[in-house]
Amino acid sequence: MMGTKQLWQLNAVEMLSAYAARRLSPVEVMEAILARAAAVNPAINALFHIVPESALEQARASETRWAAGSPTGLLDGVPVSVKDSIAVAGMPYWRGSKAYMQRPNPTYDSPPAARLKEAGAIIFAKTTMPDLGMLGAGVSSAHGITRNPWNVAFNTAGSSSGGAAAVAGGIGPLTVGSDIGGSVRLPAALCGLASIKPTQGRIPHLPPSPIRSAGPLARTVEDTALLLSVLARPDARDYGSLPPEQIAYHERLADSVAGLKLGLFLESGFGMSAEPAVVDAIETAAACLSAAGAEIVRLPALIDIDISAAFNLVFAVRTRIELDAMSPDARSGVHAAVLQLAASADKISAIELGHAYDQIERLKAGVIAVSAKFDYLLSPATPVVNFPAEAIAPDPDQPLGWVGFTAAFNQTGQPAAVVCCGFDARGLPIGLQITGNRFDDLGVLSVASVYEARRGFTIEWPHLS
Protein backbone atom coordinates (compact mmCIF):
# COMPACT_ATOMS: atom_id res chain seq x y z
CA MET A 1 0.00 0.00 0.00
CA MET A 2 1.06 3.61 -0.61
CA GLY A 3 -1.29 6.07 1.03
CA THR A 4 -4.81 5.02 0.09
CA LYS A 5 -3.65 3.28 -3.10
CA GLN A 6 -2.49 -0.26 -3.60
CA LEU A 7 0.75 -0.51 -5.57
CA TRP A 8 -0.96 -1.76 -8.73
CA GLN A 9 -3.08 1.40 -8.75
CA LEU A 10 -0.11 3.77 -8.96
CA ASN A 11 0.55 5.71 -12.14
CA ALA A 12 4.04 5.79 -13.62
CA VAL A 13 4.66 9.36 -12.44
CA GLU A 14 3.69 8.34 -8.90
CA MET A 15 6.00 5.33 -9.02
CA LEU A 16 8.95 7.40 -10.18
CA SER A 17 8.35 10.02 -7.49
CA ALA A 18 8.25 7.31 -4.83
CA TYR A 19 11.45 5.73 -6.16
CA ALA A 20 13.25 9.07 -6.07
CA ALA A 21 12.09 9.71 -2.49
CA ARG A 22 13.07 6.14 -1.43
CA ARG A 23 9.50 5.50 -0.30
CA LEU A 24 9.15 2.58 -2.67
CA SER A 25 11.36 0.08 -4.47
CA PRO A 26 10.99 -1.09 -8.07
CA VAL A 27 11.12 -4.63 -6.68
CA GLU A 28 8.06 -4.02 -4.50
CA VAL A 29 6.20 -2.55 -7.48
CA MET A 30 7.18 -5.35 -9.85
CA GLU A 31 6.11 -7.98 -7.34
CA ALA A 32 2.76 -6.21 -6.95
CA ILE A 33 2.20 -6.02 -10.71
CA LEU A 34 3.07 -9.70 -11.17
CA ALA A 35 0.67 -10.60 -8.36
CA ARG A 36 -2.00 -8.45 -9.98
CA ALA A 37 -1.43 -10.21 -13.29
CA ALA A 38 -1.81 -13.60 -11.64
CA ALA A 39 -5.04 -12.47 -10.01
CA VAL A 40 -6.84 -10.79 -12.89
CA ASN A 41 -5.29 -11.84 -16.21
CA PRO A 42 -7.22 -15.14 -16.29
CA ALA A 43 -10.44 -13.11 -16.33
CA ILE A 44 -9.46 -10.61 -19.03
CA ASN A 45 -6.80 -12.41 -21.11
CA ALA A 46 -4.72 -9.27 -21.64
CA LEU A 47 -1.23 -10.81 -21.44
CA PHE A 48 -0.12 -13.93 -23.30
CA HIS A 49 3.58 -13.96 -22.39
CA ILE A 50 4.94 -12.89 -18.99
CA VAL A 51 8.61 -13.02 -17.92
CA PRO A 52 8.50 -12.82 -14.09
CA GLU A 53 12.10 -13.91 -13.44
CA SER A 54 13.55 -11.43 -15.92
CA ALA A 55 11.22 -8.69 -14.67
CA LEU A 56 12.33 -9.16 -11.06
CA GLU A 57 15.98 -9.27 -12.10
CA GLN A 58 15.53 -5.95 -13.93
CA ALA A 59 13.68 -4.54 -10.91
CA ARG A 60 16.57 -5.44 -8.61
CA ALA A 61 19.02 -3.71 -10.96
CA SER A 62 16.77 -0.64 -11.02
CA GLU A 63 16.57 -0.68 -7.21
CA THR A 64 20.37 -0.57 -7.08
CA ARG A 65 20.51 2.37 -9.48
CA TRP A 66 17.91 4.34 -7.52
CA ALA A 67 19.73 3.63 -4.26
CA ALA A 68 22.89 5.07 -5.84
CA GLY A 69 20.96 8.11 -7.05
CA SER A 70 21.68 7.25 -10.69
CA PRO A 71 18.52 6.13 -12.52
CA THR A 72 19.26 5.26 -16.11
CA GLY A 73 16.34 7.05 -17.78
CA LEU A 74 12.86 8.50 -17.56
CA LEU A 75 11.17 5.15 -16.87
CA ASP A 76 13.72 3.41 -14.66
CA GLY A 77 11.93 0.62 -12.80
CA VAL A 78 8.48 1.21 -14.31
CA PRO A 79 6.69 -1.97 -15.53
CA VAL A 80 5.59 -1.67 -19.16
CA SER A 81 3.81 -4.17 -21.40
CA VAL A 82 4.24 -4.28 -25.18
CA LYS A 83 1.88 -5.31 -27.97
CA ASP A 84 2.40 -8.64 -29.72
CA SER A 85 3.18 -6.84 -33.01
CA ILE A 86 6.11 -4.88 -31.54
CA ALA A 87 9.29 -6.95 -31.73
CA VAL A 88 11.16 -7.52 -28.46
CA ALA A 89 14.28 -9.68 -28.53
CA GLY A 90 13.55 -13.14 -27.14
CA MET A 91 9.78 -12.62 -26.83
CA PRO A 92 7.01 -14.04 -29.08
CA TYR A 93 6.05 -12.08 -32.18
CA TRP A 94 2.84 -13.71 -33.40
CA ARG A 95 0.88 -10.60 -34.37
CA GLY A 96 -2.20 -12.25 -32.90
CA SER A 97 -2.34 -15.12 -35.37
CA LYS A 98 -1.96 -18.89 -35.21
CA ALA A 99 -0.21 -18.55 -38.55
CA TYR A 100 2.86 -17.15 -36.80
CA MET A 101 2.92 -19.09 -33.55
CA GLN A 102 5.70 -21.43 -34.68
CA ARG A 103 8.14 -18.85 -35.94
CA PRO A 104 11.28 -18.10 -33.90
CA ASN A 105 11.29 -15.21 -31.48
CA PRO A 106 13.01 -12.11 -32.87
CA THR A 107 16.63 -11.47 -31.97
CA TYR A 108 16.32 -7.68 -32.18
CA ASP A 109 14.40 -4.91 -30.45
CA SER A 110 12.08 -2.73 -32.52
CA PRO A 111 12.56 1.01 -31.95
CA PRO A 112 9.80 1.27 -29.28
CA ALA A 113 11.25 -1.67 -27.35
CA ALA A 114 14.79 -0.30 -27.67
CA ARG A 115 13.71 3.11 -26.34
CA LEU A 116 11.95 1.48 -23.38
CA LYS A 117 15.03 -0.48 -22.43
CA GLU A 118 17.28 2.58 -22.78
CA ALA A 119 14.93 4.46 -20.44
CA GLY A 120 15.14 1.73 -17.78
CA ALA A 121 11.59 0.44 -18.23
CA ILE A 122 10.90 -3.16 -17.30
CA ILE A 123 9.27 -4.95 -20.25
CA PHE A 124 7.50 -7.67 -18.32
CA ALA A 125 4.87 -8.96 -20.77
CA LYS A 126 3.56 -9.08 -24.32
CA THR A 127 -0.11 -8.22 -24.87
CA THR A 128 -2.83 -9.80 -26.99
CA MET A 129 -4.16 -8.50 -30.29
CA PRO A 130 -6.41 -9.62 -33.18
CA ASP A 131 -4.92 -11.36 -36.21
CA LEU A 132 -2.49 -9.16 -38.15
CA GLY A 133 -4.03 -6.08 -36.51
CA MET A 134 -6.85 -6.23 -39.04
CA LEU A 135 -9.79 -6.26 -36.61
CA GLY A 136 -10.86 -3.52 -34.23
CA ALA A 137 -11.81 -6.02 -31.53
CA GLY A 138 -10.24 -8.21 -28.86
CA VAL A 139 -10.58 -11.51 -30.74
CA SER A 140 -7.69 -13.57 -32.06
CA SER A 141 -6.91 -16.99 -33.48
CA ALA A 142 -3.76 -17.14 -31.34
CA HIS A 143 -4.97 -15.53 -28.13
CA GLY A 144 -8.71 -16.09 -27.96
CA ILE A 145 -10.99 -13.39 -26.53
CA THR A 146 -9.65 -10.43 -24.57
CA ARG A 147 -12.22 -8.95 -22.22
CA ASN A 148 -12.88 -5.45 -20.91
CA PRO A 149 -11.98 -4.98 -17.21
CA TRP A 150 -14.96 -2.66 -16.74
CA ASN A 151 -17.30 -5.53 -17.62
CA VAL A 152 -15.92 -8.80 -18.97
CA ALA A 153 -18.99 -9.32 -21.15
CA PHE A 154 -17.84 -6.39 -23.30
CA ASN A 155 -15.14 -5.71 -25.86
CA THR A 156 -11.82 -3.96 -25.47
CA ALA A 157 -11.72 -2.90 -29.15
CA GLY A 158 -8.47 -3.41 -31.03
CA SER A 159 -6.02 -3.91 -32.26
CA SER A 160 -4.10 -2.88 -29.11
CA SER A 161 -6.66 -4.87 -27.15
CA GLY A 162 -4.57 -6.64 -24.51
CA GLY A 163 -2.51 -3.58 -23.67
CA ALA A 164 -5.59 -1.47 -23.01
CA ALA A 165 -7.19 -4.22 -20.92
CA ALA A 166 -3.98 -4.68 -18.92
CA VAL A 167 -3.60 -1.01 -18.01
CA ALA A 168 -7.30 -0.54 -17.22
CA GLY A 169 -7.12 -3.72 -15.14
CA GLY A 170 -4.12 -2.52 -13.14
CA ILE A 171 -1.51 -4.81 -14.70
CA GLY A 172 1.10 -2.10 -15.10
CA PRO A 173 0.64 1.64 -15.60
CA LEU A 174 1.88 1.85 -19.20
CA THR A 175 1.65 -0.10 -22.44
CA VAL A 176 2.79 0.42 -26.01
CA GLY A 177 0.37 -0.30 -28.82
CA SER A 178 0.18 0.58 -32.49
CA ASP A 179 -2.39 2.33 -34.64
CA ILE A 180 -3.19 1.95 -38.34
CA GLY A 181 -6.83 3.02 -38.29
CA GLY A 182 -7.55 3.69 -34.62
CA SER A 183 -5.82 0.80 -32.89
CA VAL A 184 -4.58 2.70 -29.84
CA ARG A 185 -7.48 5.16 -29.73
CA LEU A 186 -10.35 2.68 -30.03
CA PRO A 187 -9.15 0.49 -27.10
CA ALA A 188 -8.30 3.59 -25.07
CA ALA A 189 -11.86 4.82 -25.50
CA LEU A 190 -13.52 1.51 -24.62
CA CYS A 191 -11.22 0.95 -21.63
CA GLY A 192 -11.31 4.49 -20.18
CA LEU A 193 -7.66 5.28 -20.91
CA ALA A 194 -5.63 8.16 -22.31
CA SER A 195 -3.60 7.65 -25.48
CA ILE A 196 -2.18 9.39 -28.50
CA LYS A 197 -1.60 8.40 -32.09
CA PRO A 198 1.20 10.90 -32.67
CA THR A 199 2.10 12.77 -35.81
CA GLN A 200 3.10 10.15 -38.35
CA GLY A 201 6.83 9.54 -38.00
CA ARG A 202 7.07 10.95 -34.49
CA ILE A 203 7.71 7.48 -33.02
CA PRO A 204 10.18 5.41 -35.04
CA HIS A 205 8.91 1.90 -35.73
CA LEU A 206 9.60 -1.16 -37.86
CA PRO A 207 8.72 -1.94 -40.52
CA PRO A 208 8.43 1.71 -41.62
CA SER A 209 4.92 2.69 -42.65
CA PRO A 210 3.23 5.85 -43.96
CA ILE A 211 0.09 5.24 -41.86
CA ARG A 212 0.90 2.94 -38.93
CA SER A 213 2.33 4.40 -35.74
CA ALA A 214 3.27 3.03 -32.37
CA GLY A 215 1.51 4.80 -29.54
CA PRO A 216 1.33 4.98 -25.74
CA LEU A 217 -1.65 4.05 -23.58
CA ALA A 218 -1.96 4.94 -19.89
CA ARG A 219 -4.48 5.82 -17.21
CA THR A 220 -3.59 9.54 -17.27
CA VAL A 221 -2.59 12.09 -19.89
CA GLU A 222 0.60 12.89 -17.98
CA ASP A 223 1.68 9.24 -18.07
CA THR A 224 0.83 9.13 -21.79
CA ALA A 225 3.00 12.18 -22.37
CA LEU A 226 5.81 10.67 -20.30
CA LEU A 227 5.81 7.53 -22.41
CA LEU A 228 5.73 9.57 -25.62
CA SER A 229 8.79 11.47 -24.38
CA VAL A 230 10.65 8.15 -24.41
CA LEU A 231 9.20 6.58 -27.57
CA ALA A 232 9.75 9.68 -29.73
CA ARG A 233 13.52 9.50 -29.49
CA PRO A 234 15.34 8.86 -32.80
CA ASP A 235 16.10 5.57 -34.50
CA ALA A 236 17.72 5.63 -37.93
CA ARG A 237 16.25 2.22 -38.82
CA ASP A 238 12.91 3.90 -39.54
CA TYR A 239 13.72 5.93 -42.65
CA GLY A 240 10.29 7.58 -42.51
CA SER A 241 10.61 8.95 -38.99
CA LEU A 242 10.70 12.67 -38.25
CA PRO A 243 13.67 14.63 -36.94
CA PRO A 244 13.32 14.35 -33.14
CA GLU A 245 11.72 17.25 -31.28
CA GLN A 246 13.67 16.38 -28.13
CA ILE A 247 10.67 17.52 -26.07
CA ALA A 248 9.89 16.24 -22.61
CA TYR A 249 6.16 16.30 -23.35
CA HIS A 250 5.15 15.45 -19.78
CA GLU A 251 7.00 18.51 -18.46
CA ARG A 252 5.51 20.99 -20.92
CA LEU A 253 1.77 20.31 -20.83
CA ALA A 254 -0.14 23.61 -20.95
CA ASP A 255 -2.74 24.38 -18.29
CA SER A 256 -5.12 26.54 -20.32
CA VAL A 257 -7.26 26.37 -23.45
CA ALA A 258 -8.33 30.02 -23.26
CA GLY A 259 -8.61 31.56 -26.72
CA LEU A 260 -8.34 28.28 -28.64
CA LYS A 261 -10.72 27.63 -31.53
CA LEU A 262 -12.05 24.08 -31.42
CA GLY A 263 -14.08 22.48 -34.19
CA LEU A 264 -16.64 19.95 -32.93
CA PHE A 265 -17.92 17.22 -35.25
CA LEU A 266 -20.32 14.47 -34.23
CA GLU A 267 -20.52 12.86 -37.67
CA SER A 268 -17.46 11.77 -39.62
CA GLY A 269 -19.23 11.76 -42.97
CA PHE A 270 -18.72 8.02 -43.44
CA GLY A 271 -19.18 4.86 -41.39
CA MET A 272 -21.48 4.50 -38.40
CA SER A 273 -23.23 7.45 -36.76
CA ALA A 274 -22.59 8.13 -33.09
CA GLU A 275 -25.20 6.74 -30.72
CA PRO A 276 -26.97 9.07 -28.23
CA ALA A 277 -24.86 8.21 -25.15
CA VAL A 278 -21.68 9.02 -27.09
CA VAL A 279 -23.09 12.28 -28.46
CA ASP A 280 -24.17 13.39 -24.99
CA ALA A 281 -20.75 12.68 -23.49
CA ILE A 282 -18.88 14.53 -26.25
CA GLU A 283 -21.17 17.55 -26.06
CA THR A 284 -20.66 17.67 -22.29
CA ALA A 285 -16.90 17.53 -22.81
CA ALA A 286 -17.07 20.34 -25.36
CA ALA A 287 -19.09 22.43 -22.91
CA CYS A 288 -16.40 21.82 -20.29
CA LEU A 289 -13.70 23.15 -22.64
CA SER A 290 -15.93 26.08 -23.57
CA ALA A 291 -16.26 26.96 -19.89
CA ALA A 292 -12.46 26.88 -19.71
CA GLY A 293 -12.25 29.61 -22.35
CA ALA A 294 -12.16 27.78 -25.69
CA GLU A 295 -14.36 28.77 -28.63
CA ILE A 296 -16.43 25.82 -29.88
CA VAL A 297 -17.54 25.78 -33.52
CA ARG A 298 -19.92 23.01 -34.56
CA LEU A 299 -19.31 21.28 -37.88
CA PRO A 300 -21.97 19.27 -39.77
CA ALA A 301 -19.39 16.51 -40.40
CA LEU A 302 -15.66 16.11 -40.75
CA ILE A 303 -15.86 15.49 -44.49
CA ASP A 304 -18.45 14.97 -47.23
CA ILE A 305 -16.63 12.08 -48.92
CA ASP A 306 -17.82 8.55 -48.15
CA ILE A 307 -14.51 6.76 -47.99
CA SER A 308 -15.83 3.47 -46.59
CA ALA A 309 -15.55 1.43 -49.78
CA ALA A 310 -12.04 2.72 -50.53
CA PHE A 311 -10.83 1.88 -47.02
CA ASN A 312 -12.32 -1.61 -47.21
CA LEU A 313 -10.67 -2.19 -50.56
CA VAL A 314 -7.22 -0.97 -49.51
CA PHE A 315 -7.20 -2.95 -46.27
CA ALA A 316 -8.47 -6.06 -48.05
CA VAL A 317 -5.58 -5.87 -50.53
CA ARG A 318 -3.08 -5.21 -47.73
CA THR A 319 -4.33 -8.28 -45.86
CA ARG A 320 -4.38 -10.45 -48.98
CA ILE A 321 -0.74 -9.61 -49.73
CA GLU A 322 0.30 -10.81 -46.29
CA LEU A 323 -1.74 -13.99 -46.54
CA ASP A 324 -0.26 -14.78 -49.95
CA ALA A 325 3.19 -14.88 -48.35
CA MET A 326 2.05 -17.63 -45.95
CA SER A 327 2.03 -21.36 -46.56
CA PRO A 328 -1.45 -22.86 -47.02
CA ASP A 329 -1.22 -24.54 -43.60
CA ALA A 330 -0.31 -21.29 -41.89
CA ARG A 331 -3.02 -19.36 -43.72
CA SER A 332 -5.65 -21.80 -42.49
CA GLY A 333 -4.94 -20.72 -38.93
CA VAL A 334 -5.86 -17.08 -39.51
CA HIS A 335 -9.13 -15.82 -38.00
CA ALA A 336 -12.08 -16.40 -40.32
CA ALA A 337 -13.05 -12.72 -40.40
CA VAL A 338 -9.57 -11.74 -41.58
CA LEU A 339 -9.64 -14.47 -44.24
CA GLN A 340 -12.99 -13.16 -45.39
CA LEU A 341 -11.62 -9.60 -45.60
CA ALA A 342 -8.67 -10.82 -47.67
CA ALA A 343 -10.91 -12.89 -49.95
CA SER A 344 -12.80 -9.77 -50.93
CA ALA A 345 -9.62 -8.61 -52.71
CA ASP A 346 -9.88 -11.39 -55.28
CA LYS A 347 -12.07 -9.42 -57.67
CA ILE A 348 -10.33 -6.05 -57.24
CA SER A 349 -8.53 -4.75 -60.32
CA ALA A 350 -5.44 -2.54 -60.34
CA ILE A 351 -7.59 0.27 -61.75
CA GLU A 352 -10.05 -0.04 -58.86
CA LEU A 353 -7.20 0.01 -56.36
CA GLY A 354 -5.78 3.10 -58.03
CA HIS A 355 -9.16 4.86 -57.83
CA ALA A 356 -9.40 3.94 -54.13
CA TYR A 357 -6.03 5.53 -53.42
CA ASP A 358 -7.08 8.63 -55.37
CA GLN A 359 -10.23 8.89 -53.27
CA ILE A 360 -8.16 8.59 -50.09
CA GLU A 361 -5.98 11.46 -51.34
CA ARG A 362 -9.12 13.59 -51.80
CA LEU A 363 -10.15 12.65 -48.28
CA LYS A 364 -6.76 13.71 -46.93
CA ALA A 365 -6.88 17.06 -48.69
CA GLY A 366 -10.37 17.73 -47.36
CA VAL A 367 -9.56 16.74 -43.77
CA ILE A 368 -6.39 18.83 -43.72
CA ALA A 369 -8.30 21.83 -45.13
CA VAL A 370 -10.95 21.54 -42.39
CA SER A 371 -8.34 21.06 -39.67
CA ALA A 372 -6.38 24.14 -40.76
CA LYS A 373 -9.33 26.36 -39.81
CA PHE A 374 -9.06 25.34 -36.16
CA ASP A 375 -6.50 24.92 -33.44
CA TYR A 376 -7.93 21.49 -32.64
CA LEU A 377 -10.86 19.24 -33.52
CA LEU A 378 -13.12 17.49 -31.00
CA SER A 379 -15.07 14.33 -31.79
CA PRO A 380 -16.05 10.95 -30.47
CA ALA A 381 -13.32 8.33 -30.65
CA THR A 382 -15.94 5.66 -31.36
CA PRO A 383 -19.54 5.81 -32.56
CA VAL A 384 -20.70 3.20 -30.00
CA VAL A 385 -19.99 2.84 -26.30
CA ASN A 386 -19.24 -0.88 -26.59
CA PHE A 387 -20.30 -4.26 -28.02
CA PRO A 388 -20.07 -7.92 -26.95
CA ALA A 389 -16.63 -9.33 -26.14
CA GLU A 390 -16.98 -12.17 -28.67
CA ALA A 391 -17.91 -9.91 -31.60
CA ILE A 392 -15.48 -8.72 -34.28
CA ALA A 393 -17.21 -5.30 -34.52
CA PRO A 394 -20.43 -3.54 -33.50
CA ASP A 395 -21.76 -4.64 -36.91
CA PRO A 396 -20.00 -7.92 -37.84
CA ASP A 397 -21.05 -7.47 -41.47
CA GLN A 398 -18.97 -4.27 -41.59
CA PRO A 399 -15.82 -4.93 -39.52
CA LEU A 400 -14.28 -1.58 -40.48
CA GLY A 401 -17.53 0.36 -40.40
CA TRP A 402 -16.98 1.84 -36.95
CA VAL A 403 -13.55 3.49 -37.46
CA GLY A 404 -14.91 6.62 -39.15
CA PHE A 405 -13.81 8.97 -36.39
CA THR A 406 -10.24 7.66 -36.23
CA ALA A 407 -9.03 6.25 -39.55
CA ALA A 408 -8.81 9.51 -41.51
CA PHE A 409 -6.13 10.85 -39.21
CA ASN A 410 -3.83 7.91 -39.92
CA GLN A 411 -4.03 8.88 -43.57
CA THR A 412 -3.32 12.58 -42.93
CA GLY A 413 -0.65 11.87 -40.32
CA GLN A 414 -2.21 14.22 -37.78
CA PRO A 415 -1.81 13.69 -34.02
CA ALA A 416 -4.97 12.51 -32.27
CA ALA A 417 -5.35 11.86 -28.55
CA VAL A 418 -8.11 10.16 -26.58
CA VAL A 419 -9.17 10.81 -23.00
CA CYS A 420 -12.11 9.40 -21.06
CA CYS A 421 -15.05 11.80 -21.01
CA GLY A 422 -17.63 9.82 -19.06
CA PHE A 423 -19.53 6.58 -18.65
CA ASP A 424 -22.85 5.28 -19.87
CA ALA A 425 -25.64 3.92 -17.69
CA ARG A 426 -23.91 0.51 -17.61
CA GLY A 427 -20.69 2.01 -16.26
CA LEU A 428 -18.80 1.61 -19.54
CA PRO A 429 -16.30 4.34 -20.56
CA ILE A 430 -16.63 6.78 -23.46
CA GLY A 431 -13.68 8.47 -25.17
CA LEU A 432 -13.21 12.03 -26.42
CA GLN A 433 -10.84 12.38 -29.40
CA ILE A 434 -8.76 15.57 -29.71
CA THR A 435 -7.02 16.05 -33.06
CA GLY A 436 -4.43 18.65 -33.97
CA ASN A 437 -2.61 19.81 -37.05
CA ARG A 438 0.53 17.90 -38.01
CA PHE A 439 3.49 18.16 -35.64
CA ASP A 440 1.43 19.62 -32.77
CA ASP A 441 1.64 16.55 -30.52
CA LEU A 442 2.32 18.68 -27.45
CA GLY A 443 -0.74 20.83 -28.10
CA VAL A 444 -3.03 17.83 -28.49
CA LEU A 445 -1.79 16.38 -25.21
CA SER A 446 -2.14 19.76 -23.53
CA VAL A 447 -5.81 20.09 -24.49
CA ALA A 448 -6.39 16.55 -23.26
CA SER A 449 -4.64 17.38 -19.98
CA VAL A 450 -6.70 20.53 -19.43
CA TYR A 451 -9.90 18.60 -20.09
CA GLU A 452 -8.83 15.75 -17.81
CA ALA A 453 -8.20 18.21 -14.97
CA ARG A 454 -11.61 19.86 -15.45
CA ARG A 455 -13.90 17.01 -16.45
CA GLY A 456 -15.53 16.84 -13.03
CA PHE A 457 -15.16 13.16 -12.20
CA THR A 458 -12.48 10.84 -10.94
CA ILE A 459 -12.03 7.31 -12.21
CA GLU A 460 -12.19 4.40 -9.79
CA TRP A 461 -10.44 1.68 -11.79
CA PRO A 462 -12.02 -1.78 -11.76
CA HIS A 463 -10.81 -4.06 -9.00
CA LEU A 464 -11.95 -7.28 -10.70
CA SER A 465 -12.09 -8.93 -7.29
110 has catalytic annotation: no
83 has catalytic annotation: yes
Which of the residues 25, 85, 110, 159 is marked catalytic? 159
**Among 401, 365, 397, 371, which residue's Cα sits nearest to residue 383?**
401
197 has catalytic annotation: no
- Spatial separation of the C-alpha atoms in residues 135 and 325, rounded to whole Å: 20
Which of the residues 110, 160, 183, 308 is marked catalytic? 183
Rg (CA), the chain: 21
125, β-bridge pairs = 50, 81
Which of the residues 83, 117, 126, 364 is marked catalytic? 83
Q: HEC states along the chain?
A: CECCECHHHCCHHHHHHHHHCCCCCHHHHHHHHHHHHHHHHHHHCCEEEECHHHHHHHHHHHHHHHHCCCCCCCCCCCEEEEECCCCCCCCCCCCCCHHHCCCCCCCCCCHHHHHHHHCCCEEEEEECCCHHHCCCCCEECCCEECCECCECCECCCCCCHHHHHHHHCCCCCEEEEEECCCCCHHHHHHHCCEEEECCCCCCCCCCCCCCCEEEEEECCHHHHHHHHHHHCCCCCCCCCCCCCCCCCHHHCCCCCCCCCEEEEECCCCCCCCCCHHHHHHHHHHHHHHHHCCCEEEEECCCCCCCCHHHHHHHHHHHHHHHHHCCCHHHHCCCCHHHHHHHHCCCCCCHHHHHHHHHHHHHHHHHHHHHHCCCCEEEEECCCCCCCECCCCCCCCCCCCCCCCCCHHHHHHCCCEEEEEEEECCCCCEEEEEEEECCCCHHHHHHHHHHHHHHCCCCCCCCCCC
Q: Quick check: bond before 159 cis, omega within 30?
A: yes
Residues recognised as catalytic? 83, 159, 183
